[in-house]
Amino acid sequence: MPTDARRPQGQPDDAYVVDTRRRRRSPSGAAVARPSGSPTGPASEPGHRVRKGRVVALVVGLLLVAWLAFLIWVPVSAWNSVARVDNIPDGERPVDTSGHNYLLVGSDSRAGLTKEQRKKYATGNAAGTRTDTIMLVHVSESGGKPVMVSLPRDSYVPIPGHNSNKINAAYSIGGPKLLTATVENVTGIHIDGYVEIGLGGFASVVDSVGGVYICVPRNMKDPKAGIDLKKGCQTLGGADALGFVRSRYEDPLGDIGRAARQRQFLGALMKQAATPATVLLPWRYKAFADASAAGLAVGTETGLIDAVRVLQAMRAVSNDQGLSLSVPTSDLAYRTNAGLAVKWDTERAKALFAALKNDEPLTEPPAGTVPTEPSGS
């Protein structure tokens, strides 16, 4: 076979490989080495990764800002639609001292409920408006735990200008203004804000968060409240939740027992409202805010910050970071001209209200503020 003239003599066939790549030549004709990398080759990858990382960080940052804006906008927007009521008493009032004190009221108004809703919630057709729930919420500025104190609706107290009666009669007679005046008069505490929720509004708020997990202390069958609940922990929807906090005839402690369940449930509701299942789901978060706004009425001098303090206090109670109390009592079947009522333990009640008025840091329930069931119940 002829010998290739370009192959050096004495070299084996496989030692010589023809480079078929074209070489770029300089103007002088000399071959110029091709760069080892190309614009899209390995040499450019680190810079490309940096640019890509910056883009991802920018997108994530924008999404985070948008999400935070959404979390702020939703409650602020809802708050602007909340109904306002005049609860500021006329005349002389207690001195406004350290700490924040709020009146939390649950009314039994049927206003706005359809015939179907009245049947679903077992509200009946009672005329007028009374208060099923009256709570004093204290938020300390001195390092004490938040405190929720139930004032039983059948508490027999003096009502300014109307002699003595059950405390819920104050609302029936003069609405939020007279109720606030009555509470201030009997406790000596200046009320800084007022929050009220109706029957339908309460049920809607519960449904908006997908129900609330609560431990039912005993079997509860109460046709007047529309419930037939079994003992044990379970998730309650709006209708059952409303019956749970309204029922009192099947409770050994009557109105006192109901007040304890109300505090228990409100704490559990706020705990559920703060879970990722509510906050991280935009539609549920907005539904909760809208339902709350639709069902609430607040005092004319009550601001969004005040409402937030009340919600935080309720959540603290559910996490054992707050105190859930009832005003000390001495007689749960006190005979009066208004029927059987609840009589307070005057000395212990005065001590409790003095501690709240002076913003004394409470870390444990004062004597008589945690009622126990009668033996054998």
CATH number at residue 138: 3.40.630.190
Residue 375 in any domain: the answer is no
**DSSP states of 156-214:** EEE-TTS-EEETHHHHHHHHHHHHHHHHHHHH-----EEEEE-HHHHHHHHHHTT-EEE
The DSSP letter of residue 43 is G
| 203-251 tens-digit pLDDT | 899 999 999 999 998 999 998 888 999 999 999 999 999 999 988 887 8
For residue 106, report the phi and psi dihedrals to the nearest 5 degrees.
-115, 115
Cβ neighbors of 289 (< 8 A, separation 6 or more) are: 74, 75, 77, 78
Q: 79-95: per-residue pLDDT in tens?
A: 999 999 999 999 899 99
Q: Are 199 and 123 in contact (CB under 8 A)?
A: yes
For 152-167, b/e burial (b = at least 16 CB within 10 A) is: bbbbbbebbeeeebbb
Mean pLDDT of all residues in 119-136: 71
Please report the pLDDT score of residue 377 as a whole number: 41
Q: Which residue has the higher pLDDT, 51 or 233?
A: 233
What is the value of pTM for the model shown? 0.79
Residues 48 and 190 in one domain: no
How big is the chain by its Cα radius of gyration, in Å? 35
- Given a cut of 90, whether residue 124 has pLDDT beyond it is no
Query: Which of these three, 24, 51, 71, is where a domain ends?
Result: 71
Let me know: does 270 contact 64? Beta carbons within 8 Å: no
The reply to whether 61 and 105 lie within a common domain is: no
Whether 66 and 86 share a structural domain: no
Say if 124 falls within a structural domain: yes
Q: Is residue 4 part of a domain?
A: no
Is 189 a member of any domain? Answer: yes
- Find the mean pLDDT for residues 105-122: 68
Model confidence over 92-106: pLDDT tens digits?
Answer: 999 999 999 999 998
Q: Are residues 61 and 121 in the same domain?
A: no
Tally of structural domains, the chain: 2
Sign, Cα dihedral of 230, 233, 234, 237: positive
**Domain shared by 215 and 280, yes or no:** yes
Query: What value does the mean pLDDT take over residues 140-163?
Result: 94
* Dist. CA 205–CA 200, nearest whole Å: 9
Residue 377 maps to a domain:
no
Pair (116, 199) in one structural domain: yes
Residue 32 within a domain: no
Regarding whether 150 and 104 lie in a shared domain, the answer is yes
| 148 lies in the same domain as 225 | yes
pLDDT for 319 equals 85
Looking at per-residue pLDDT, the higher value among 195 and 111 belongs to 195
Residue 369: band (very low, low, confident or very high) from pLDDT cuts 50, 70, 90: confident
At CA 286, angle to CA 284 and CA 287, rounded to 5? Answer: 60
Which residues are CB-contacts of 237 (< 8 A; sequence separation ≥ 6)? 206, 207, 211
Torsion angle of alpha carbons 118, 123, 124, 128, nearest 10°? -110
Same domain assignment for residues 201 and 322: yes
Give the model's confidence band at 39: pLDDT under 50 very low, under 70 low, under 90 confident, else very high.
low
Whether residue 241 sits in one domain with residue 129: yes
Mean pLDDT, residues 17-21: 49
Domain of residue 48 covers 42-71
**Average pLDDT of the residues of the chain:** 84
- Is there a single domain that holds both residue 64 and residue 85? no
Structure confidence at residue 376 as a pLDDT band (50, 70, 90):
very low
51, 71, 91 - which closes a domain: 71
Output the pLDDT for position 88. Answer: 95
Shared-domain flag, residues 55 and 129:
no
Write phi, then psi, for 356 (nearest 5 degrees). Answer: -70, -40
What's the whole-number mean pLDDT along residues 366-375? 70
> Above 90 in pLDDT, residue 288?
yes
Q: How confident is the model at residue 318 (pLDDT cuts 50, 70, 90)?
A: confident
